[in-house]
């Protein structure tokens, strides 16, 4: 129990542009949190820094009490944080089963696959996202919704404690999104901490009990969805300022 | 300047520290997966492709029985040596996605070290091949440490730069002829020894790429960022791949050195790097066996051209000397234009269709 992720004064600049500006927040184990902000707010950059794909300019990230700032991505995965990508990535010339197997071959994933066997482990993960019948197919022929499921299966291969889902609903039809939502709820039942981003307020508002709002890299508010949705700065970011009307 | 040198030194120190764990990890993985692999082998033994392979091997083995094939056996011997080199290149490029334009340097350094060891320590030609290949591994680590930080064309150029430097260093060296040699053996025996090396080397490479280690390699090739995000230490595995690739390139280089019984700058010819590339491309990247097919086709066509030009006499005879480079250039154009996936896969598919037709399916 307790705090699983602690982000303190995190700042990431690209030249003159400050993508993440002094962000601080805490996530407790088992929580289900959303991160919202309009496009360009810095959500993906924040995920990139937490998962090790970018180094922050200043600030720190602690995972389960351990300082993970600046560690390489594969090390962070093997400590227990998995992420998915906004634009789905997969291994083009491998079968979907092999796609998942790769994550099962990570150091952390091997702890499980050494016991149950890698094929069993990967198959179980594929089955849990509902893609087992497409095990031998290449990812290129899968529809977008299935690709998102595959991404989640791959992220689960390394047996994470914290799952970062970057805009998992973008490009999905209503049914496909419903499927992902039920998958997420299943994962929550197993105790996984899930941190999810999105820029469409409606999806997240009905889904997560707590939302962090981010505008232009800066922290705006952290609270229940209703409160966040009514916050002045959040409304301004999405709807614009009301001045200049007759 | 000094800080850059210090940085480079610490990088090398780190990679040397990583070397034995990497090696241990790599071999442990392969050995652990072996029972599964043997099962896979059983399942694959009775496919059309394996039948075809066995047929080709039988033809190769029975070839010396036919009369007046001595001259062609010599060509086939070189084809087998370069098959190993091309396969080692395909291993690195077709399966891990790391492009090397300097494989000739592993080919050469292995022969050079082997020759020195024979000369100064009196070891056998057989040992010199393996010891030379181990030297090639160390060269591979030396090169890989800076070069693997580069991607795509820059990695290719980086490896090529090192290869050219080595080649230039060797230009000033005298040719070294080894006294005790492989060529003292009976011609046919040489042929079968080389065939044995080729079959074993290619088999080992095939086993590796079809194992779970191969899956990891392919993931790095397909999307390195995704592989990182899946928890794979891509740096470590790229290093392991480089070690394996340079080892087999070294085996090929050692075989070449004992076959020609000498080592000079000619063992380091940059052209040989491109031979490996074109042979693997002809056969098809990402197949291993395709590289061998490419090598044989390359040498056979080269021989045909060479004979055509010599026979016609007069002006054409001059071209006979340029045979190798001409064939290489011609093949490069044809492959890029007509068979960019290699010719082996389509050819095997056509043959399978023909076979099915004949079998009435």
> Which residues of chain A make contact with B14, given a CB cutoff of 8 A?
none
Is residue A115 domain-shared with residue A71, that is, in the same domain?
no
Is residue A92 domain-shared with residue A171, that is, in the same domain?
yes
In a domain, A151, yes or no: yes
CATH of the domain at A72: 3.40.50.300
Percent of chain A with pLDDT over 70: 97
- pLDDT tens profile B179-203: 767 888 888 999 999 999 999 999 9
Minimum mean pLDDT range among A113-117, B27-31, B72-76, B83-87: B27-31
Cβ pair B223:A89 closer than 8 A: yes
- Nearest alpha-carbon partner for B92 in B209, B197, B193, B198: B209
Which residues are CB-contacts of A237 (< 8 A; sequence separation ≥ 6)?
Answer: A37, A38, A41, A215, A216, A220
- pLDDT tens profile B97-153: 999 999 999 999 999 999 999 999 989 999 999 999 999 999 999 999 999 988 889
- Nearest alpha-carbon partner for A72 in B241, B148, B227: B227
Q: Is A193 helix (H, G, I), strand (E, B) or coil?
A: strand
> Could you tell me the pLDDT band of residue A81, with boundaries at 50, 70 and 90?
very high
d(CA A169, CA A145): 9
Is residue A71 domain-shared with residue A101, that is, in the same domain?
no
The per-residue pLDDT for A245 is 44
Q: Best mutation site among B229, B234, B287 for testing chain A: the one with the most A CBs within 10 Å?
A: B229
> Could you tell me the pLDDT band of residue B169, with boundaries at 50, 70 and 90?
very high
Which region holds residue A63: left if phi is over 0, alpha if psi is between -120 and 50, else beta?
Answer: beta
In a domain, A185, yes or no: no
In which domain, by residue range, is A121 found?
A: 84-180
d(CA B27, CA B21): 10
The per-residue pLDDT for A174 is 86
Cβ pair A91:B226 closer than 8 A: yes
Average pLDDT over every residue of A219-230 = 89
The per-residue pLDDT for B338 is 86
The per-residue pLDDT for B98 is 93
d(CA A152, CA A83): 8
> Could you tell me the pLDDT band of residue B343, with boundaries at 50, 70 and 90?
confident
In a domain, A189, yes or no: no
Judging by DSSP bridges, how do beta strands A210-215 and A218-223 pair with one another?
Answer: antiparallel
Minimum mean pLDDT range among A92-106, A158-172, B339-353: B339-353
Judging by DSSP bridges, how do beta strands B176-177 and B262-263 pair with one another?
Answer: antiparallel
d(CA A222, CA A227): 9
Is residue A75 domain-shared with residue A94, that is, in the same domain?
no
- What token pair was written down for B73? 């056996």
Q: Best mutation site among A102, A109, A112 for testing chain B: the one with the most B CBs within 10 Å?
A: A102
What is this model's ipTM? 0.92
> Could you tell me the pLDDT band of residue A246, with boundaries at 50, 70 and 90?
very low
pLDDT at A238 over 80: no
Quick count: other Cβ atoms within 10 Å of Cβ B103? Answer: 32
In a domain, A5, yes or no: yes
The per-residue pLDDT for A242 is 60
d(CA B280, CA B286): 9
d(CA A167, CA A182): 16
In a domain, A243, yes or no: no
- Mean pLDDT across chain A: 91
The per-residue pLDDT for B359 is 84
CA-to-CA dists, residue B68 to A43, B96, B300, angstroms: 74, 42, 16
Is residue A91 domain-shared with residue A16, that is, in the same domain?
no
In a domain, A217, yes or no: no
B39 touches chain A (CB under 8 A): no
pLDDT at B225 over 80: yes
In a domain, A50, yes or no: no
In this structure, which long-range contacts are made by residues B118-121, counting pairs with CB atoms below 8 Å and at least 24 apart in sequence? B118/B178, B118/B179, B118/B180, B119/B176, B119/B178, B119/B179
> Could you tell me the pLDDT band of residue B321, with boundaries at 50, 70 and 90?
low
The per-residue pLDDT for A244 is 47
d(CA B335, CA A56): 47
Is residue A71 domain-shared with residue A91, that is, in the same domain?
no
pLDDT at B40 over 70: yes
pLDDT at B43 over 80: no
Which residues are CB-contacts of B109 (< 8 A; sequence separation ≥ 6)?
Answer: B132, B135, B136, B139, B166, B250, B253, B268
Is residue A131 domain-shared with residue A171, that is, in the same domain?
yes
Range picked from A168-172, B136-140, B304-308 for highest mean pLDDT: B136-140
Cβ pair A102:B229 closer than 8 A: no
Is residue A126 domain-shared with residue A90, that is, in the same domain?
yes
In a domain, A174, yes or no: yes
Distance from CA of A155 to the nearest CA of B (A): 7
Is residue A165 domain-shared with residue A231, that is, in the same domain?
no
Per-position DSSP letters for A196-241, written without gaps between them: EEES-HHHHHTT-SEEEEEETTEEEEEE-HHHHHT-HHHHHHHH--
Minimum mean pLDDT range among A54-63, B158-167, B344-353: B344-353
Q: How many domains does chain A have?
A: 2
Cβ pair A102:B221 closer than 8 A: no
Strand partners, A14: A17
Is residue A159 domain-shared with residue A108, that is, in the same domain?
yes
Is residue A94 domain-shared with residue A167, that is, in the same domain?
yes
Average pLDDT over every residue of A224-230 = 87
Per-position DSSP letters for B260-276, written without gaps between them: HTEESGGGG-HHHHHHH
């Amino acid at each position: 129990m307790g705090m699983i992720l602690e982000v303190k004064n995190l700042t990431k600049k690209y030249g003159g542009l400050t993508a993440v500006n002094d962000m601080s927040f805490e996530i407790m184990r088992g929580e289900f949190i959303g991160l919202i902000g309009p496009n360009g707010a810095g959500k993906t950059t924040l995920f990139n820094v937490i998962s090790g794909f970018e180094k922050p300019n200043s600030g720190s990230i602690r995972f389960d009490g351990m300082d993970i700032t600046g560690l390489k991505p594969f090390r962070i995965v093997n400590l227990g944080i998995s992420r998915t990508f906004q634009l789905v990535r997969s291994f083009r010339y491998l079968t979907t089963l092999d796609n998942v197997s790769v994550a099962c071959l990570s150091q952390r994933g091997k702890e499980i696959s050494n016991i149950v066997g890698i094929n069993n482990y990967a198959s179980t993960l594929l089955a849990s996202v509902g893609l087992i019948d497409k095990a031998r197919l290449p990812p290129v022929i899968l529809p977008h919704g299935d690709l998102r499921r595959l991404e989640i299966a791959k992220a689960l291969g390394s047996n994470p404690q914290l799952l970062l889902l970057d805009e998992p609903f973008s490009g999905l039809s209503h049914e496909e999104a419903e499927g992902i939502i039920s998958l997420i709820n299943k994962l929550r039942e197993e105790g996984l901490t899930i941190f999810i981003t999105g820029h469409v307020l409606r999806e997240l508002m009905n889904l997560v009990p707590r939302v962090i709002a981010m505008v232009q890299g800066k922290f705006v508010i952290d609270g229940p969805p209703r409160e966040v949705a009514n916050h002045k700065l959040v409304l301004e970011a999405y709807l614009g300022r009301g001045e200049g009307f007759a | 300047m000094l800080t850059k040198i210090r940085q480079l030194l610490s990088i090398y120190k780190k990679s040397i520290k990583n070397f034995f764990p990497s090696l241990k990890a790599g071999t442990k993985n392969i050995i652990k997966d072996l029972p599964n692999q043997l099962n896979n082998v059983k399942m694959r033994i009775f496919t059309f492709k394996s039948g075809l392979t066995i047929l080709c091997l039988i033809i190769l083995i029975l070839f010396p029985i036919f009369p007046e094939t001595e001259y062609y056996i010599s060509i086939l011997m070189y084809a087998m040596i370069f098959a190993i080199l091309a396969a080692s290149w395909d291993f690195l490029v077709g399966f891990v996605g790391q492009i090397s334009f300097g494989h000739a340097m592993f080919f050469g350094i292995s022969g050079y070290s082997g020759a020195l060891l024979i000369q100064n320590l009196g070891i056998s030609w057989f040992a010199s091949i393996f010891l030379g290949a181990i030297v090639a591994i160390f060269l591979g680590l030396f090169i890989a440490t800076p070069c693997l930080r580069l991607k795509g064309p820059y990695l290719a150029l980086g490896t090529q730069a090192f290869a050219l430097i080595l080649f230039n260093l060797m230009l000033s060296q005298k040719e070294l002829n080894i006294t005790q040699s492989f060529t003292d053996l009976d011609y046919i025996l040489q042929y079968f020894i080389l065939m044995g090396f080729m079959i074993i080397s290619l088999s080992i490479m095939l086993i590796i790429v079809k194992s779970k280690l191969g899956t990891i390699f392919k993931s790095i090739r397909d999307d390195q960022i995704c592989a990182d995000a899946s928890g794979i230490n891509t740096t470590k595995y790229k290093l392991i791949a480089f070690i394996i690739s340079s080892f087999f390139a070294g085996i090929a280089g050692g075989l070449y050195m004992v076959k020609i019984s000498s080592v000079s700058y000619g063992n380091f010819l940059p052209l040989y790097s491109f031979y490996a590339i074109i042979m693997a491309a002809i056969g098809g990247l990402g197949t291993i066996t395709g590289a061998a097919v490419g090598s044989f086709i390359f040498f056979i066509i080269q021989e045909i051209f060479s004979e055509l030009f010599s026979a016609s006499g007069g002006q054409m005879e001059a071209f006979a000397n340029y045979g190798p480079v001409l064939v290489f250039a011609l093949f490069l154009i044809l492959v890029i234009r007509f068979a960019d996936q290699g010719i082996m896969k389509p050819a095997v598919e056509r043959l399978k269709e023909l076979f099915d037709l004949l079998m009435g399916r």
